[in-house]
Structure 1
Amino acid sequence: MILSLIVMYGPSGSVFAQSLFKCGNAYQDRPCENGKLETIKGISTSSREAESGAADAACSRRGNDAQKIVWQREGGLTLEQALSQASNSARRNLIEEVYGERGTAAQVRSRIENECIAEKERQARYAALIEASKPLKGTADSQPVDNRIQPKAVPTNVSASGADIRQRTGGKNPACADLSMKIEEIKSLQRTGGDARTMEGYSRKLKETQQLMQQIGCA
């Protein structure tokens, strides 16, 4: 069984997908040794492509907003003035992030947009992994049961935990590597320094990422 986790757009605009293979009762990131593949219904690649396109559009808007904020900063608008004009918390967070960035308006826009896309891809992979760990409808009742040899039934209405995901994916959670890289990026930014607001933002991002790693069972 192949589970397509997410359709993503590479730098050149090409489309690629990350897959999980179900081999027996386990999930892994490589084909089964016996070469057997089961068919899975209900996974729509077109819907994933639509979600990816929507994510790109949202990140593009965020990049445009970041560029305009840089222009305001270059025009002499202080951080306090910019924050006072913000209409919501999301806008204030973006202003603080942009004012903590160095470089031209185009460079800041590119970084903000790329970070946005990478974050949405990580979230989508995590969501797809959780979905892949859920039991498929009909699989438990579609096979005849011999009570003499079958082990006790395991409840299937329990939400997937980090340990369950590790077991089903052969101990390899694709999201863990991405989150580890994110943590290293944040720590690198912390080492570069910044004002109090910027450092506070880095600390908040680091804590949120570490908590997410614990939730999905990363070691």
Structure 2
Amino acid sequence: MHWLISMRPALFISLAITQSLQALLIVGSSLPGQAQAQNLYRCGSTYQDKPCDGGQGQMIKKNPSPSTSDKLPLDANCVRRGEEAKKMIWYKEGGALQDRMLSEAKTAEQRRIVADVYAMKGNANDVRMKIESDCMAEKEAERKFGPRASEDEASRHQAAERKAVTGENSKDSSKPDPAEAARKQKQCDELRKQINALRNAQKAGGTAQDMETQANNKRDTETSLKELGCTK
């Protein structure tokens, strides 16, 4: 009987330590921010949130560091498009006219970026982020619905060959695709804007080389408009 009485204080101490540990774990898991990143150490009969003196003791609980970012990385093509847009924004802020920028653009994608830059409002960073965001949305749409019609010559020939092989009267091609129709309409509108801008640039005049470049760009854009099947 005497030995049971003598063990009672030790039992109470053990229960108190266990309850204290549980309380620390509950509080530590419920606190936001920095408290969640703290560790819990057992130093003899006590518990604390820092290592024991002399490096002794045992780590009871270790919280992982929170993730720094859950953002998806930008597509490389979207990054490049954003860089191109940033350069064109600098020219725009420096007083360059849209007609001149369109006449100097060498590819359909560059002409599209010029049209977007001059159509959007906001500072350089806002416009660049919007263009990159639209690019990522296009990539997501391509992942879901397939790649959009390309404007480069090789892809147009490949599309024409596939169309000749499959035929225009196939069962699948007779079904309208709302996503594809909206994408096509957007491309047609952008091409029409480019043609109007190039037409205005030709009326403004310029050197013989500039006029030739504008004429070539206008002809290429009109060809793209026709091959996409856009109605005038």
Fold shared by both chains (TM-score > 0.5) = no
Bigger relative contact order, structure 1 or 2 (CA pairs below 8 A, ≥6 apart): 1
- More strand per residue: 1 or 2? 1
- More helix per residue: 1 or 2? 2
Normalising by structure 1, report the TM-score: 0.37
Larger Rg: 2
